[in-house]
Amino acid sequence: MSDTTRASLPEVALGSAVLAADTARDLVKRAAYAGVRTVTDTRDAALDQVQTRVRMVARAVAPGVIDELMPYLTSSVLPRFLDAALPLIEAKLLPRLMESAMPLIEARMMPRLLDAAIPLLRDKVVPIMIKDLTESEELRELITEQSRDVVADAAGDLRDSTAAADDRVEIGFRRLFHLSSSATAK
């Protein structure tokens, strides 16, 4: 079907309404001539016929309407809707969803993720990290500096300990030989 012979949506709706009205009029005429049905039965039958026609037209027209509207919806309406809704979704909805989902994530998903990740980390990541650490010049300098500080602290502690021991030995020697501190100084 070409675009020039295709009916517009208002034309299709008007045509459907005319068909439905004609159907209703024909049903009323038949009922009046037959005289068998009551007015209520005739009205109900007419309504059923009209509803059936409307449904048939809707089924026939709806896909075309959707096809016609989809480019406009996706290019104009949807981006504006998302632009307006995303801040609210990010600020209100996602935090609440994450908070609600956290017990489930912790109970069911994290153990599975860890079980899958730990062998990979052990086999691939840890060796690379150890290699990087052993080859790191910065780390060597830090270890060397820390070692020097430890040795300097140990030497200072040893110096203090030996000085204290020397003082004790000297005091013990003086007591043993009854010497005064001024006599040992000469």
pLDDT tier at 15, thresholds 50, 70, 90: confident
Report the C-alpha gap between 43 and 50 in whole angstroms.
Answer: 10
Hey, where are the domains in the chain? Answer: 136-186
Residue 57 contacts residue 12 (beta carbons within 8 Å) = yes
Greater confidence (94 vs 21) lies with 94
Question: Would you say residue 9 has pLDDT above 80?
Answer: no
Task: Say what the pLDDT of residue 2 is.
Answer: 47
> Quick one: how far is CA 77 from the chain centroid?
24
Task: Say what the pLDDT of residue 76 is.
Answer: 86
Task: Say what the pLDDT of residue 124 is.
Answer: 92
Lowest mean pLDDT among 119-128, 158-167, 175-184: 175-184
| pLDDT (tens digit per residue) in 94-120 | 899 889 989 988 898 899 989 999 999
pLDDT > 70 in the chain, percent = 84
Lowest mean pLDDT among 27-31, 68-72, 127-131, 154-158: 27-31
